[in-house]
Amino acid sequence: MTRVFNFSAGPATLPEPVLRQAADEMLDWHGSGMSVMEMSHRGKEYIGIQAEAESLLRELMAIPSNYKVVFLQGGAIAQNAFVPMNLLRGKASADYVNTGEWSKKSIKEAGKYARIRVAASSEASKFTEVPPFETWELDPDAAYVHICANETIGGVQYHWTPDTGDVPLVADMSSEILSKPVDVSRYGLIYAGAQKNIGPAGLTIVIVRDDLIGHALPTTPSVFDLKQQADNDSMLNTPPTYAIYIAGLVFKWLKAQGGLPAIERHNVAKAALLYDYLDSTSFYVAPIAKEDRSLMNVPFKLRDESLDEAFLKGAQQRSMLQLKGHRSVGGMRASIYNAMPIEGVKALVAYMKEFEKSHG
């Protein structure tokens, strides 16, 4: 068996021990004689699996007791509609901060449900930074303030938490959840698609403060009504059972790594290897402002773009895959989520140096 270093932005590499355990348990989960995939979501085995996944997530993120965890489908894209449908609470508008491609998508979709104010934007600097908080024009009457905590395509990440006062802060944490400790109490709602740091695609996790539940627009589909899902332990309809089971295994793995403070140290060290090298050469260019660089998605360009193809081909020959940047920005992108081992980043940096030597 050969495993590659998979730098995909998502679905992304998962911890190998998790995949091995899932393989071992595939046909017969804990003597049940069934695969988790085959279990009724109403059966005691599966109910236990989901409850354990939730409790591990609560422990890892230190989620306060006045917050609910809801497991949904629809991906983070569905959340772009879900959030305004559930959180407007009779208010006329919501504030959004525009830091790139994923923010733009959120703003566009939310516009179907409410008046959206762009309270701050880094469009003028081509999304190479998080707009400084002093430039934000927040509306105290907004229903909520929405941010994208880590722009997966652009590689811009908040390394601070905005203080939005009494207006609930909502964060798309799809590509940074569980990569570092966060103070959940600073947020009204956090959402994340699973396919980067949590598990397989098909699962979306929502963490929401109690008082924000129960205000859905009357036209909200029942499966996207926070109250109905929260009241039914995310089982208003069939949840993505297998994805939740794998998420639970990933949470266990994270705990065994020492939890979020330890994984953050690991992530900082991995990203530093790449950024330090990028800063030491002019052969490659790292476009993002230093203080706002993502620890999860590292975009870079070859100064001579005519070499892009040769670079990618050489990487592939060395079993390093999915390094091509998103089509909207071009260049390269190395996604180095929790499960990417430091050996993968070392191998990438060694290859980048070698490529520079032979083509520089």
Which parts of this chain interact with ligand PMP (CB under 6 A)?
Answer: 9-10, 75-77, 102, 148, 152, 172, 174-175, 193
To the nearest whole angstrom, how small is the minimum distance from the Cβ of residue 200 to ligand PMP?
Answer: 11
Active-site hit among 95, 172, 225, 292: 172
Task: Give the Cα separation of 69 and 182 in Å (integer).
Answer: 15
E-only strand ranges, 174-289: 189-193, 204-209, 284-285
To the nearest whole angstrom, how small is the minimum distance from the Cβ of residue 287 to ligand PMP?
Answer: 18
Is residue 196 among the annotated active site residues?
A: yes
**CB 62 within 8 Å of CB 256:** no
**CB 271 within 8 Å of CB 334:** no
Q: What is the Cβ-side half-sphere exposure of residue 137, based on CA atoms within 13 angstroms?
A: 6
- Cα end-to-end span (Å), the chain: 35
> By C-beta, is 128 or 152 nearer to ligand PMP?
152
To the nearest whole angstrom, how small is the minimum distance from the Cβ of residue 180 to ligand PMP?
Answer: 16
**CB 297 within 8 Å of CB 197:** no
Task: Give the Cα separation of 339 and 353 in Å (integer).
Answer: 24
Task: Select the residue whose beta carbon is closest to ligand PMP and give its number.
Answer: 75
To the nearest whole angstrom, how small is the minimum distance from the Cβ of residue 271 to ligand PMP?
Answer: 17
**Placement of tokens 């929790």 in the chain:** 338
Active-site hit among 180, 196, 270, 301: 196
> By C-beta, is 148 or 298 nearer to ligand PMP?
148
Q: Buried (b) or exposed (e) across 69-82, using 16+ Cβ within 10 A?
A: bbbbbbbbebbbbb
To the nearest whole angstrom, how small is the minimum distance from the Cβ of residue 304 to ligand PMP?
Answer: 28
Catalytic residue numbers?
Answer: 102, 172, 196
